[in-house]
Structure 1
Amino acid sequence: MARSRETKIELTAYDDLFQTDESREEAKLSKIRDIPISEIDEFPDHPFKVLMDEDMEQLVESIKRNGVMTPATVRLKEDGRYELISGHRRKKACELAGLETLKCEVKELTRDEAIIVMVESNLQRSVILPSEKAFAYKMRLEAMNRQAGRPSKDNLTPMVSDLDTTRTNEKLGKEVGESREQIRRYIRLTELVPEILQMVDER
């Protein structure tokens, strides 16, 4: 008589089973910590500028008085250092205030997930230059396309994924409140030479 196949049953850990909402919140808070600024790297090709303006001066004074109220967002890199996802102005303000650490929330994110979070968090700013939007939209679309799957060689519009019936630029447009054509126009700005792009930013 043949032996019956063994069935592997996964059981919930005792601690997880009786974990309270309070302990879950504590576990979440443990990911918020003060990290030495010297261990935090800038996000590669970050499209948003950190301006030394009146708002920055006010932020520096606020941090001197009260510290960083809202944690920056970072992810742990393979080399053990951290990559800054959101909070570039807070990091600069901390440096100007003479602080050596930055309060951060550490998130487990892939490269493409980090790009999407970085763009989303920065698009909430009150003033955004056309060039910042252009490069931010381009980075996010490329990340969305990689997540959906690479377009085939027959695809004549590389910004569109074959694996998703909805165009990714249309999907992004709905998320940020822009039309598909407006997204396309912004991305075309990235092809301008820097001098012309600066003229666009200066209206």
Structure 2
Amino acid sequence: MKTVSKQEPREQVQQIPLSEIHPFRNHPFKVLDDELMQQTIDSIMQVGILNPAIIRPDPEGGYEMVAGHRRLHAADLAGLKTIPAIVRNLTDDEAVILMVDSNLQRETISPMERAQAYKMKLEALKHQGKRVDLEDKSTSRQVGEKSSWAVAKVGADANESERQVHRYIRLTELLPEVQEKVESKEIAFSPAVELSYLTHDEQRQFLDAMDYSQNTPSLSQAQRLKKLSREGKCTQEAMFAIMSEDKKDDLTRITLDNDVLRKYFPRNYTPLQMQQTIIKLLEQWQKKRQRQNER
């Protein structure tokens, strides 16, 4: 007798009023009114919303958005009153994991968005593991193995190494003011990871040193600050001294503005032709100086 496999019932798409949906609590991803948002609005006005959002019932009333924050905002700006959505009953941990996974597909994600998202998903996976541990009475060693599995799971789902996942999560140890400078790219990712090992008081003093020197920290400077912090020697004076250093790159690199150079060359000159001409003129100038010195 031929058995027929049971198929799970398809989830029903419903039209839900925008006014009944609120954002996910502590949603780490920004919804920006940028060019991509305008493209989404234009698409909605032309063909509607093809991919339904995923929401979950809120015990206090209405629904919580899980996957579809940008679509919700675009629908509002496009003048829609409802949005197609799938209502799904999810636990807090299931909702966090789905929210993070659906947003990590985006092309542009800032380091701080990724850091907060990885941390939220890791905690959710750990919570799920703890519930299993309580049920099967796992040993502390097994709990540790499951925690390590959670990190590996976050990395595998995002195509990141476990080390990189840990590095991103380190950014959440930064003060909000320092996180803002990472977000605005005033502080690069790798130096920011090193600075996350400073205490909060040291981070405040670092911001003063950064403001005083008008310099952004290099990786080398951040690593030395981290070392001083571990040794208990990360004083404000030490920070000011390190941040006021002339960087090697600044001492060896000369940058010429393109607009400044262009006025000396024909419009049809390529950057390579401009470079060759400059080198040739410098060689002539050097020979002239040598002849003058020989007199």
> Which of 74, 81, 97 is residue 93 of structure 1 equivalent to?
74
Instruction: Please tell me the residue identity of whatever aligns with 2:162.
Output: R
CA distance in 2, matches of 1:37, 1:130: 30
Deviations along 1:21-61, one digit per CA (max 9) or x if unpaired, are 7xx6xx525x2111001111110000000011011111111
Q: Is the 8 A contact 1:50 1:89 kept in 2?
A: yes
CA distance in 2, matches of 1:124, 1:35: 24
CA root-mean-square deviation: 2.8
CA distance in 2, matches of 1:19, 1:35: 33
> Which of 122, 128, 135 is residue 109 of structure 2 equivalent to?
128
Deviations along 1:179-202, one digit per CA (max 9) or x if unpaired, are 111111111111212232122223
Q: Are positions 1:66 and 2:47 aligned together?
A: yes
2:10 maps to: 28
Larger Rg: 2
CA distance in 1, matches of 2:168, 2:87: 31
User: Cα distance, 1:77 vs. partner?
Assistant: 2.1
Q: Is the 8 A contact 1:145 1:161 kept in 2?
A: no
Bigger RCO (CA 8 Å, 6+ sep): 1
User: Cα distance, 1:114 vs. partner?
Assistant: 0.5
- Tell me the TM-score normalized by structure 1: 0.78
DSSP-derived class of the 1:74 partner: strand
User: Cα distance, 1:66 vs. partner?
Assistant: 1.4
1:143 maps to: 124
> Which of 155, 158, 174 is residue 176 of structure 1 equivalent to?
158
Q: Is the 8 A contact 2:100 2:117 kept in 1?
A: yes
Give the count of matched residue pairs.
177
Task: Report which of the two has the higher share of helix.
Answer: 2
- Tell me the TM-score normalized by structure 2: 0.55
Q: Are positions 1:198 and 2:177 aligned together?
A: no
User: Cα distance, 1:161 vs. partner?
Assistant: 4.1
Q: Which runs of 4+ in 1 moved over 4 A?
A: 18-21
DSSP-derived class of the 1:164 partner: helix
